[in-house]
Amino acid sequence: MDTTVIKTGTEGNAWGGDSQPLKVSYGKMMMWFFILSDALTFSGFLAAYGFSRFKFINSWPIADEVFNHFPFLHGVDAPMYYVALMTFILIFSSVTMVLAVDAGHQMKKNKVVIYMFLTIIGGIIFVGSQAWEWKNFIKGEYGAVETKGGQILQFVDKDGHRVKLSDFVTAAPIVREQHQNKNGIWFYGEKELPTYTVDDVVSGFKKRSDLLIRTQILTEDGKKTVLSREASMDKLTNSVVGVVEGANLIKNEYGSTLFANFFFFITGFHGFHVFSGIVLNIIIFFNVLMGTYEKRKSYEMVEKVGLYWHFVDLVWVFVFTFFYLV
């Protein structure tokens, strides 16, 4: 059987790598494919977060109470201020990346160097700020107690202001033995002991007649339910099984553990993308300094890494909206 070979004329073989679909280079097309697949991944994560929040909408933590810290302003209630600053810095780094790409199109090496450097600095500040947010979230600020059913109970005064455990609880002068692998149940070692025991909290609560308990259940106006003094005392003495300080994948002093799980996973996944973008930008930055793209007569690599950086910035806008604003 004879084999007929069809030629594509002057345009070359369509499958040989010579053609450019949509007039875009191979490298840029692959970057768009990667961005599309990554966008679907983030969409799945945020959709799962949305469904979980909707299911537990009456007990979800209030973002303004969780992310209310600001560097060097200890004790100042600044809800969302620092997160907003982080967002501005990341968006501004996207602007400098646009300027770097434009300077590359004009073959202006010095301007590309300046704008790439500013983009890298913005990314480093953002990642450092996100690490600082994680530190405060993990450490916690006020502390809480947990009931047998896994509900988180917080403490407020009669005006509704949060009260820290350290403001009314004193640790009893007793030595608590911590389980180790060699003597723990089922060979599991016990995690770090909380600062206070349940008995310490109950004793301190009884001494402060102005204290009340606030549950994680939200009222119709979006505020957490505050129990009466009698109901608070009953709940504290009959339902509480442990003290919670800070947040991790198992415990969360701010409310639902699911919130902490999604926060760590999604913001951590995005933070990894930003860190990867910083590494790529640094590599491209040094290539620019060495004149690699001047010799090639093209700064397309700057444009390709710029596409990735813009994608990371855009994803953060959605993460910021889902976690902090809605």
In a domain, 252, yes or no: no
Residues with Cβ within 8 Å of 75's Cβ and at least 6 positions away in sequence, in order, are none
In a domain, 313, yes or no: yes
Pair (66, 136) in one structural domain: yes
Pair (132, 42) in one structural domain: yes
Pair (307, 237) in one structural domain: no
Pair (135, 269) in one structural domain: yes
Q: Whole-model pTM?
A: 0.84
248 DSSP assignment: -
Task: Output phi, psi for 162, to 5 deg.
Answer: -60, 145
CATH number (domain holding residue 82): 1.20.120.80
In the block, residue with structure tokens 């600001």: 70
According to the model, what pLDDT value does residue 176 have? 58
Query: Which contacts (CB < 8 Å, 24+ apart) does range 80-88 have?
Result: 80/324, 80/325, 82/129, 82/133, 83/133, 83/320, 83/324, 85/129, 86/126, 86/129, 86/130, 86/133, 87/316, 87/317, 87/320
* Residue 92 belongs to domain spanning: 23-140+258-325
Per-residue pLDDT of the chain (326 residues; tens, 9 = 90+): 455 444 444 444 554 555 656 677 888 888 999 999 999 999 999 999 999 999 988 888 888 888 888 888 877 788 889 999 999 999 999 999 999 999 999 999 999 999 999 999 999 999 999 999 999 999 988 999 999 888 999 999 988 888 999 899 887 776 556 556 555 544 444 466 778 888 899 999 999 989 999 998 888 887 889 999 999 999 998 898 889 999 998 889 998 899 999 999 999 999 999 999 999 999 999 999 998 998 988 899 999 999 999 999 999 999 999 888 87
In a domain, 269, yes or no: yes
Pair (79, 205) in one structural domain: no
In a domain, 9, yes or no: no
Pair (146, 136) in one structural domain: no
Pair (121, 30) in one structural domain: yes
Q: Based on the structure, what is the number of domains in the chain?
A: 2
